[in-house]
Structure 1
């Protein structure tokens, strides 16, 4: 039950309170995937010491740990009975869902497991994004049916027992594809995105799968209270693989951004006066004409995006080109590039790929070394400090794709890097004194993926407006 006046629930009352009063990050949790399909683990990283201080090894193999979320977040801030003490850790490969107890933040332990058979009984598989709800429940997007064919839906976990309660959509509705989602009760909406068929992306990126329509292009608009699909927005060929979706953090803003991976485009989505939702392309990263790659036109392949808590800056990674970008979104319809940094990628000047035409660069970027070690692969997952001044980066996307695009990174293991952010004028600078290297792990190199702070972050916390729903005026 929501309790007015309570200030002891999880998270912070507002995004700006989190930004201005939140603590500096000291620990970060990182799923580590073993390239040969052995036992993945959750690494606890001490950011001050720049090293892994604890490894929670999962009891099964071939899990492919991926994205994670919390049992409670800032949407429950007004409820004194809620506590952010469980990390929800879906395994996209095995369809398990691990519940990790972080009551002792430095030494997490396994609390509960939802097994694949329980998921299969609901005709779902391939769990991905996890968000806590103000009700105390946990909602997780699922990308496939029990046979791992494409079927987009959502499951609910009980926030106390962590048992499956069933699927979220009304009348067992589903959409062709699924991936990420963000809910906004003030406008009675939830919007989900689309990757592709688990059977397709699980074998790597295959051009035949793209041609056969095994990847999605839609934003799916759901009525939050009735749990029904209201609208589908087709982004077309330029919007193939709309992945990470972010509403602006201000819960009264009826707009946000979605990154479309393959052709590296960002769309702004927004509520029209008519009550329908719409989308417009606001950023396009042009492909590079190349020789020595699988295609003549090399797309950026935009894989992660996030928005600073003050809704001023948008950040994203181009995993194939190898850069991270910062855009000023003070005018959301006209994002302005203010920062860019290359940290690896597929167009380095000492590699096999020759860029023969580039609409943005005058020369190919050089390799980057940090503490005497070359950065292999390219920037992928992003996480930002609450104050917006530090951007953390890891390089692994998904192990079948890692092996396809960056085999040297797989052999070597990934890195966690830190980028210093100019929050006044814009600008990105690599911190040459920070490195968490996953090369020297006890059982060999691993692939570090998503990052979470115990106290919440820019990508897992959703804030609610004081009013339950929007009034008559936009």
Structure 2
């Protein structure tokens, strides 16, 4: 597909011509959320929930539709669109189908959201056996639309759960399997997230770990066995040749969510390194190679009554506002959400922080030892009379950057390990108001979506998408 430089006024395809155009788009009214029964002890299929986020609607802050998938034990996780702002100049392209990879079963579901946006329907199922037979790939995770009309999905291993089987699956516009994107012999050692920046002819991917390890829960011993990653993989775009491997070392253990700045001219971005609890900036050097630096470090908390004497923050999600001014990330174990001003990308400045759960909240058995020797716990306010459960996990930001939505489930086996009550109590979605001028965060007490009250029992809510696109699905070319 062709593209339009700068996104001119005559562009008629999906999305927006530029990131700044997107900030002026309409307010979100619906939210699609992956909801999981896998790993909860309920033998029920996972589903896609439609949540009403229109404050003028009588069903505001409610689940208004549920689309169950045909199978059980899938673990719906992340999602992506068949078409996005990378196809903005294409009159025949439309953002219609939501791509739902299943991280455990390796199936991929294609959902039609156009017939009735409030009540999406299943369009196609891509079976795990077909994917593996044609590509050798399994455990699909991140899906991104491409300007070519294809869909690319990172896969975290082979069907045996070995990380060395990781790679990138290509689907055509009709969701047929085309093959692998990366050149033969150029597969990453580990897989997870990825982001491409075409004007710099580069794609960079991150590395979680071997599926055989992380699907069972986190075992610190697996780290020493080499079953978790600490590298970024730099590819030629769109060619698929692995050009560089960046070893982040001990300050970049388990790099997960990765984001370039939205401005396609920029040659810098960030990755959240979960276990080391660091925010790492990557950038292109004058010789066209890529380098990195740690720009934020979340210090571990010295704790009592936990499995270890120190607790990492565990940064599990990050996103960047469409105007590239603010960056947000969560510490899933500590329980705080943070906002940073990144006007200077090399020097993020903390401008907001909220405690939204976590293992060290008041009422928990875990106590934090302060530098003065006194014990401390975070204050987490209830919302609509409900105590917040788990820790803040997945994030989604409104186009104008003023509303941040937050879920609290990471992955069922990790939920069961670190927040064992979450499966029986269910997830929730919160809304946080963001000051887009000076910075600052405030919890919206009028919004609370309780997945503990679902008709078939409590469910685990994970990633969120808007029908009109958002700051973690759209890439500009």
Following the alignment from structure 1 to structure 2, what is the Cα–Cα distance between the partners of residues 242 and 373?
A: 33
| Per-residue deviation, 1:149 | 1.3
* Contact 2:128 2:138 (C-alpha < 8 Å) held by counterparts: yes
SS of equivalent to 2:463: coil
SS of equivalent to 1:374: coil
Following the alignment from structure 1 to structure 2, what is the Cα–Cα distance between the partners of residues 241 and 353?
A: 24
Cα distance, 1:186–1:368 mapped onto 2, change above 3 Å: same
Are 1:402 and 2:402 counterparts?
Answer: no
Following the alignment from structure 2 to structure 1, what is the Cα–Cα distance between the partners of residues 249 and 358?
A: 27
Are 1:24 and 2:27 counterparts?
Answer: yes
| Per-residue deviation, 1:148 | 1.6
1:107 alignment partner in structure 2: 119
SS of equivalent to 2:223: helix
2:92 alignment partner in structure 1: 81
Are 1:118 and 2:122 counterparts?
Answer: no
Question: So what's the TM-score if we normalise by structure 2?
Answer: 0.95
Following the alignment from structure 2 to structure 1, what is the Cα–Cα distance between the partners of residues 150 and 305?
A: 50
Are 1:169 and 2:175 counterparts?
Answer: no
The CA deviation string for residues 315-355 of structure 1, in whole angstroms up to 9 with x for no partner, is 00000000000000001111000100001101113211111
**Which of 22, 29, 44 is residue 50 of structure 2 equivalent to?**
44
2:312 alignment partner in structure 1: 299
Question: So what's the TM-score if we normalise by structure 1?
Answer: 0.95
| Per-residue deviation, 1:119 | 1.6
* Contact 1:72 1:84 (C-alpha < 8 Å) held by counterparts: yes
The CA deviation string for residues 247-305 of structure 1, in whole angstroms up to 9 with x for no partner, is 00000000011100012100100000011000000000000111111111100000000
Q: Cα RMSD (Å) of the superposition? A: 1.3
1:351 alignment partner in structure 2: 364
* Contact 2:253 2:273 (C-alpha < 8 Å) held by counterparts: yes
SS of equivalent to 1:95: coil
SS of equivalent to 1:256: strand
Q: For structure 2, list consecutive stretches of 5 or more residues without a partner in the other structure.
A: 55-59
1:157 alignment partner in structure 2: 171
* Contact 1:288 1:358 (C-alpha < 8 Å) held by counterparts: no
2:299 alignment partner in structure 1: 286
Are 1:463 and 2:476 counterparts?
Answer: yes
**Which of 10, 13, 25 is residue 14 of structure 2 equivalent to?**
10
Following the alignment from structure 1 to structure 2, what is the Cα–Cα distance between the partners of residues 33 and 142?
A: 20
| Per-residue deviation, 1:381 | 0.3
1:187 alignment partner in structure 2: 200
2:80 alignment partner in structure 1: 69
SS of equivalent to 2:464: coil
| Per-residue deviation, 1:25 | 0.5
**Which of 347, 350, 367 is residue 380 of structure 2 equivalent to?**
367
| Per-residue deviation, 1:207 | 1.1
Following the alignment from structure 1 to structure 2, what is the Cα–Cα distance between the partners of residues 367 and 136?
A: 45
1:472 alignment partner in structure 2: none
1:252 alignment partner in structure 2: 265
Following the alignment from structure 1 to structure 2, what is the Cα–Cα distance between the partners of residues 41 and 385?
A: 23
| Per-residue deviation, 1:3 | 6.4
Deviates more, 1:274-283 or 1:37-46: 37-46
Following the alignment from structure 2 to structure 1, what is the Cα–Cα distance between the partners of residues 233 and 255?
A: 11
Following the alignment from structure 2 to structure 1, what is the Cα–Cα distance between the partners of residues 432 and 197?
A: 30
2:244 alignment partner in structure 1: 231
SS of equivalent to 2:396: strand
SS of equivalent to 1:135: coil
SS of equivalent to 1:449: strand
| Per-residue deviation, 1:146 | 2.2
Following the alignment from structure 1 to structure 2, what is the Cα–Cα distance between the partners of residues 362 and 17?
A: 48
* Contact 2:65 2:119 (C-alpha < 8 Å) held by counterparts: yes
The CA deviation string for residues 416-445 of structure 1, in whole angstroms up to 9 with x for no partner, is 000011111111110011111111111100
* Contact 2:209 2:228 (C-alpha < 8 Å) held by counterparts: yes
Q: For structure 1, list consecutive stretches of 5 or more residues without a partner in the other structure.
A: 465-474
Following the alignment from structure 2 to structure 1, what is the Cα–Cα distance between the partners of residues 384 and 421?
A: 19
Following the alignment from structure 1 to structure 2, what is the Cα–Cα distance between the partners of residues 96 and 264?
A: 31
SS of equivalent to 1:439: helix
| Per-residue deviation, 1:172 | 5.0
Following the alignment from structure 1 to structure 2, what is the Cα–Cα distance between the partners of residues 123 and 199?
A: 16
Following the alignment from structure 1 to structure 2, what is the Cα–Cα distance between the partners of residues 362 and 450?
A: 34
Are 1:58 and 2:69 counterparts?
Answer: yes
Are 1:274 and 2:277 counterparts?
Answer: no
Following the alignment from structure 1 to structure 2, what is the Cα–Cα distance between the partners of residues 413 and 55?
A: 16
The CA deviation string for residues 102-133 of structure 1, in whole angstroms up to 9 with x for no partner, is 11211100101110101221211000000000
